[in-house]
Structure 1
Amino acid sequence: MTSPIQTATATLHTNRGDIKIALFGNHAPKTVSNFVGLAQGTKEYSTENASGGSSGPFYDGVIFHRVIEG
C-alpha cells in the first residue's frame, strides 16, 4: 500500500483560464488518493473516461461547462 498523499494540487485548464485546486490529503486521504490516481491514470476504473476509453487519465478532456457571471 502506498503512503497517503499529504497535500497535492490539481489544475483545471479552461477556455477562461486555469483554476488551481488545493487537495488536502491529511484531511481526506482516501478521497485525495482516489482523485489523484484517477487524474494520473494510475487507478483502475470501470466507467468510460471523457475520451470513451477505459484506461489512462480519467479526467482528461472532461468538459467544464458551467459559467456563472459575476
Structure 2
Amino acid sequence: MAETKAVIETKFGNIELKFFPDVAPNHVNNFTGLAKKGFYDGTIFHRVIPGFMIQGGDPNYKSPDKSKHGMGGPGYTIKAEFNNMPHKRGTLSAARSANPD
C-alpha cells in the first residue's frame, strides 16, 4: 500500500503528516477528502496549549460570534476507530463529540 502523507503549511513552517490507513481508514479518508476539497484552507490553530497540543481546522473561527469558535465541522461524524497505536508527541488525532461512536 502506498504511504499517505500531507503537509500543513503555516507561517512558522510546514508540518508533515503521515497517515496510517491500515489502522484508521475512515479517519484517513475523511481528513484527506476534506483537505482535497479545501475544507481546512485558511483555518487557524484556534486552541494552543504549550507542551500539550494544538487544535485547528475549524471553519467557524471566521465567524464574528466567538461562541462558535472551535465548534465547527463538516456536518457529520464518523465512527471511532480505536486502535493500539501509541498516542505520543506528534500524533495527529480527530476531536471527538459527545457521541459515543
Same fold (TM over 0.5): yes
Task: Give the Cα separation in 1 of the matches to 2:17 and 2:41.
Answer: 16
1:10-49 map, 5 Å: 10-41=6-37
For 1:14, the aligned partner's letter is T
One-letter code of the match for 2:42?
G
**Identical pairs, percent:** 40
Counterpart in the other structure of 2:40: 59
- Report the counterpart of residue 60 of structure 2 in structure 1: none
Cα distance in 2, alignment partners of residues 28 and 6 from structure 1? 15
Give the count of matched residue pairs: 50
Query: Displacement of 1:67 after TM fit?
Result: 7.6
Letter paired with 1:61:
G
Q: Which runs of 4+ in 1 moved over 2 A?
A: 64-69
Q: Which runs of 5+ in 2 are unaligned?
A: 52-101
C-alpha distance after superposition, 1:15-41 (max 9, x if no partner): 111010101111100000011110001
CA contact (8 A) 1:11 1:19 kept: yes
In angstroms, what is the RMSD of aligned CA positions?
A: 2.1
Q: TM-score, normalised by structure 2?
A: 0.43
Partner residue, 2:59 = none
Unaligned runs of 5+ in 1: 42-56
